[in-house]
Structure 1
């Protein structure tokens, strides 16, 4: 399976409110998309993803005239929608997590549990890999990346050992070994998560793209249209929460983020950190 979708019932309950034009900004393997298609009668869905593997998978899985599949980044949502001749949407979904396919595919560099090139690009057309970023950054810049995007209190120590060995870092395991050398055993897994997250966010400009994408989504939202966002760490969730509060004429439907049920967390451990927020344009 490409990816097991998170909080499917909650997503559909908040997003769907009758036939219309819907947008999945992070279509992945089409998990949420398939359920939305099942609800839709005469409407239309646009599915966007920046990962070419996801686009290829979607085109093989779905042959539905109501569905338009587009390779692109949601930071270019306005331009992509104009190209499709769409002036507004009735529902827009952002599911910001990595797919199982991205994590488990050797060679993508997203996981510290699989050895392979230190790439981390969601879209292979991006100019810099994580390896390139590490080699070109100063020690201070590396520390800022780990502190800002990984929220690790030992960013300075970690940045120093990475910078000192930057020319020898080629693979995920190269980076992993350096982090393990300077981290107590009981903190290693958490630190590895933070550092790999930090470099992935930096390589893909994830937080800047999220801000642009959310603002574009709001501008393209029809009256009574809904936006649903699933985030997986506090940096993303904070942006979503603040954007929802800042938009005029926008009502937040989730005073607190919706979390997966205990049953879902047991069945799908990757859902444990998921937080869903939803709102509608008045």
Structure 2
């Protein structure tokens, strides 16, 4: 599906690298262009990924591509789009900037420009990302399906309405940080009970990965999987009782809500600006 498209990236950060790594498993690296002011990053894309172009000129990247990814920091998105709007033509524009809504992006581009917005997360760097995509006013179903197929190369991807993107940010965008905190706490628990830090962290991380894989590959509800581990009057039920007393579940729910509300606030601020 990707073989016929030239793909450009404005911004050479970690998410661009994750996407390029995935794309190059399915298409010729010569069909990829990257631009950025960081020449060291550009050199890495040239040497490690063998991309067709890597330069500091954003307009060269636009001229090169059929699909243009905007992968800069959210606060400079308007300036970047204003710089490039006269060169966009009929290209599909994809934004991976957190909190920047499709109407905001479209307002800085020619009328009728097809825009797809993406919320990805950092595990895409190790090909286990969780991504959501939504369509702007003029993007077609085929556009959305194409971008979804790209992000499925670096993990899983769902299609949502834009009014759900803040919740996606709160859940899977911020979620890795919650999981890292949980892994660190599990490791601390192991150390507290006499394990070495190295063993405790290794076992904690593997336990989280294995449990997540059980959910994804079995299709069994997490509560049923929990019950499968929990024997009457055993160690696990005692631990779960302690977690409930400490407010573990509501704390996680509150964390997703807090991140969602902050994303909503940031989106309104950018729109008002």
- In the superposition, the TM-score normalised over structure 2's length comes to 0.30
Name which structure has the greater RCO, CA cutoff 8 Å, separation 6+: 1
